[in-house]
């Protein structure tokens, strides 16, 4: 099978490339490197079944050509991180909505199956925890920049499902919860690599708000395994699936766990949301997926505990992993959780 992965030089995309190649498939990635990194795919450059194009999903001609040469598409290209979302809402909306429209329109010409990656952010301020795929989405006010991302990804979902219902383009939508593992950068705010990097340097760990907000962190290997299975499963077409772990932890407890596992002397400091992001910033108190649907269809289950996930990140950041590239820059004041 020939697989096209948009955003394939990103954290999840590069691991997905590994999974498909290990299975014997051909992989071509499209990435403009705005948030991805050529380093993530450096180990694949000489692979006989791997190729890549450095360009944007907004380029219809390039996307059309790549779609012609593939059997299916995993659309991961998107704006990444709260800092970018808050500071560049126009870029966020255009990247997500327009990029997805281009991919779906070109895929429709050849009726290529498309998996569209969405996010747990679409659940917004909902308190119906654990979140079910058929649950209500509760968005914040339009003058809160944070919700531009959630709304743009919700539009992506509507568009993908509309292409299936109206045009019979086979589409699948996945809502990814916090995905973690080697190669993930803290540059765009991901909390675990930021905590680990700072802990290893014995620098303060910044916890935004009061730290009582809780999240569930899934291992990237488990997540990409689920993506591959969904792409193979015909009954997944036209459906939405949560993918993530149900092991819940508060951000304050996460900081303490990272300190313990790294034997760090770091101080934990609390930073108000308005100082970290913007005045009036709204956060989700809990974000927990109901994974019953994907488990029933594919047998999906998590194989890594949170401590095991943290150990993979610590090893990577220490530079002892084969593809490790430790970050040396000072932490930015960003945190996605």
Q: Which residues are designated catalytic?
A: 149
Residues 322 and 312 sit within 8 Å (Cβ to Cβ):
no
Helices 306-318 + 191-200 axis angle, to 10: 60
Q: Count Cβ atoms within 10 A of the Cβ of residue 50 and give its class: 0-12 exposed, 13-18 middle, 19 or more buried.
A: buried
- The DSSP bridge pattern shows strands 2-6 and 72-75 to be parallel
Mutual orientation of helices 60-68 and 99-110 as an angle, nearest 10°?
Answer: 40
Q: Report the 10 Å Cβ neighbour count for 200.
A: 17
| Angstrom distance (rounded) from CA 142 to CA 1 | 42
- State the Cα torsion 177-181-187-190 to the nearest 10°: 30
286 neighbors 209 (Cβ within 8 angstroms)? no
Phi and psi angles of residue 263, each rounded to the nearest 5 degrees, phi first? 55, 40
CB 287 within 8 A of CB 222: no
Phi, psi of 183 (to 5 degrees): 85, -10
CA quadruple 219, 221, 223, 226: dihedral, nearest 10: -140
Task: Dump strand ranges (E) for 144-280.
Answer: 171-176, 179-180, 205-208, 214-216, 218-219, 240-243, 248-250, 268-271
Tokens of 147: 């919700």
């Amino acid at each position: 099978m020939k697989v096209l992965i948009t955003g394939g030089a990103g954290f999840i995309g590069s691991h997905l490339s590994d999974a498909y190649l290990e299975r014997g498939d051909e992989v071509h990635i499209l990435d403009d490197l705005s948030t991805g990194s050529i380093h993530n795919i450096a180990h694949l450059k000489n692979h006989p079944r791997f190729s890549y194009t450095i360009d944007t999903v907004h380029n219809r001609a390039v996307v059309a050509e790549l779609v012609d040469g593939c059997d299916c598409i995993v659309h991961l290209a998107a704006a990444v991180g709260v800092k970018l979302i808050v500071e560049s809402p126009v870029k966020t909306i255009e990247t997500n909505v327009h990029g997805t429209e281009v991919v779906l329109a070109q895929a429709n010409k050849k009726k290529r199956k498309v998996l569209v990656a969405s996010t747990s952010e679409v659940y917004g301020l909902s308190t119906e925890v654990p979140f079910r795929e058929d649950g209500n989405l509760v968005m914040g006010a339009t003058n809160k920049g944070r919700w531009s991302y959630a709304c743009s990804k919700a539009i992506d979902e509507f568009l993908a499902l509309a292409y299936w219902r109206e045009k019979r383009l086979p589409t699948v939508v996945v809502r990814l919860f916090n995905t973690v593992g080697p190669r993930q950068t803290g540059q765009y705010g991901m909390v675990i690599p930021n905590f680990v990097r700072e802990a290893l340097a014995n620098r303060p760990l910044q916890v935004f708000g009061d730290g009582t907000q809780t999240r569930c962190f899934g291992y990237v290997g488990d997540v990409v395994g689920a993506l591959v299975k969904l792409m193979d499963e015909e009954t997944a077409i036209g459906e939405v699936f949560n993918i993530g772990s149900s092991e819940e932890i508060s951000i304050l407890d996460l900081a303490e766990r990272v300190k313990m596992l790294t034997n760090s002397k770091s101080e934990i400091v609390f930073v108000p949301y308005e100082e970290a992001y913007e005045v009036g910033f709204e956060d989700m108190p809990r974000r927990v997926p109901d994974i019953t649907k994907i488990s029933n269809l594919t047998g999906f289950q998590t194989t890594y505990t949170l401590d095991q996930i943290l150990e993979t990140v610590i090893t990577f950041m220490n530079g002892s992993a084969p593809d490790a590239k430790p970050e040396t820059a000072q932490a930015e004041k960003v945190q996605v959780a």
